[in-house]
Amino acid sequence: MANIISGKELSARLKADMAAEVATFGAKYGRVPHLTVILVGEDPGSVSYVTGKAKASAEVGIRNTTIRKPATIAEEELLGIIAGLNADPEVDGILVQLPLPKHIDEQKVIAAIDETKDVDGFHPLNVAALWQKQPCTLPCTPKGIVKMLKTAGVEIAGKRAVVIGRSNIVGLPVSKLLLDENATVTVTHSRTRDLAEVTRGAEILVVAIGRPKFVTADMVAEGAVVIDVGVNRDPETGKLCGDVDFAAVEPKASVITPVPGGVGPMTICCLMENTIECFLRKMQAR
């Protein structure tokens, strides 16, 4: 029987602490942090995540503006909106929900965001700072994963960590954060040979591949810590499921995260934290 880390419960505690802190900001700074989220198109997953971000903002006392635009929006118009938000002194955080429609250059859009308002930590300057171990805004999902490991009392230093997936959003940055915690990190991907052999060597396994129930029991060592980043629809039941076959893997794991209620809520929680950090940096620079 594994220890199941509830991201839902942990994020609720952290959000309550943040709410208490934010409640003091009006008197101290004259206003509360302001997060602006841009949603392009109507992908049901994106709509659900953006709604979760607005809900969490309300819980923490952060002002949230969600700008919704059709999938047909021109890149120029999107860049114009970002320029306006960059120039607005009352906007502390800007997030463009990904993925964007194919006709829009994602990297160009991310780079257009003022790096001091980049609450995702995706701007090239923040990415460079992360890889050079300089102070920066950490990407929300990797930050949430390390918080979950630490809260569960998982020792990271010296451990063999295997990450499945090499995306800019999760795989690469979580690998770097685990390396900074002194794990020995292996990054695997679609071209990895004998993947199961590699993952069986993992003491900490982070799965961010985006395929329902991809990780099966034979791929996991007895006693492993398993972090499931996937949010998929189970093709059989239509219900939400992770990248890990939870029912099969949980009995072998020492610690595991569920889907839903695991990494997802922690991503949103860390977004709240990053928004507060960007706000405070600005206020303290005045």
Which of residues 203 and 273 has its CB atom nearest to ligand L34 in the complex? 273
Which of residues 219 and 259 has its CB atom nearest to ligand L34 in the complex? 259
Tell me the closest approach of the beta carbon of residue 238 to ligand L34, in angstroms. 12
User: What helix, strand, coil percent values describe the chain, rounded to 5?
Assistant: 45, 15, 40
Tell me the closest approach of the beta carbon of residue 44 to ligand L34, in angstroms. 8
Token output for 163: 């990450």
Which of residues 73 and 198 has its CB atom nearest to ligand L34 in the complex? 73
Provide the annotated active-site residues. Answer: 53, 97, 120
Tell me the closest approach of the beta carbon of residue 183 to ligand L34, in angstroms. 23
CB-side exposure of 223: number of CA atoms within 13 Å?
Answer: 5
Tell me the closest approach of the beta carbon of residue 91 to ligand L34, in angstroms. 16
Token output for 146: 């390390």
* Sheet with 93-96, side-by-side order of all strands: 63-69, 34-40, 93-96
Relative to beta strand 240-241, strand 232-233 is antiparallel
Cβ(37)–Cβ(50) under 8 Å?
yes
By beta carbon distance, the residue nearest ligand L34 is 264
Which of residues 62 and 221 has its CB atom nearest to ligand L34 in the complex? 62
Q: Which residues are at the interface with ligand L34 (CB under 6 A)?
A: 48-49, 52, 95-98, 120, 140, 231, 240, 259-261, 264-265, 267-268
Tell me the closest approach of the beta carbon of residue 108 to ligand L34, in angstroms. 14
| Strand ranges in the chain using DSSP code E only, listed in sequence order | 3-4, 34-40, 63-69, 93-96, 160-164, 184-188, 204-207, 225-228, 232-233, 240-241, 255-256
For residue 185, how many other CB atoms are within 10 A of its CB?
21
Which of residues 88 and 106 has its CB atom nearest to ligand L34 in the complex? 106
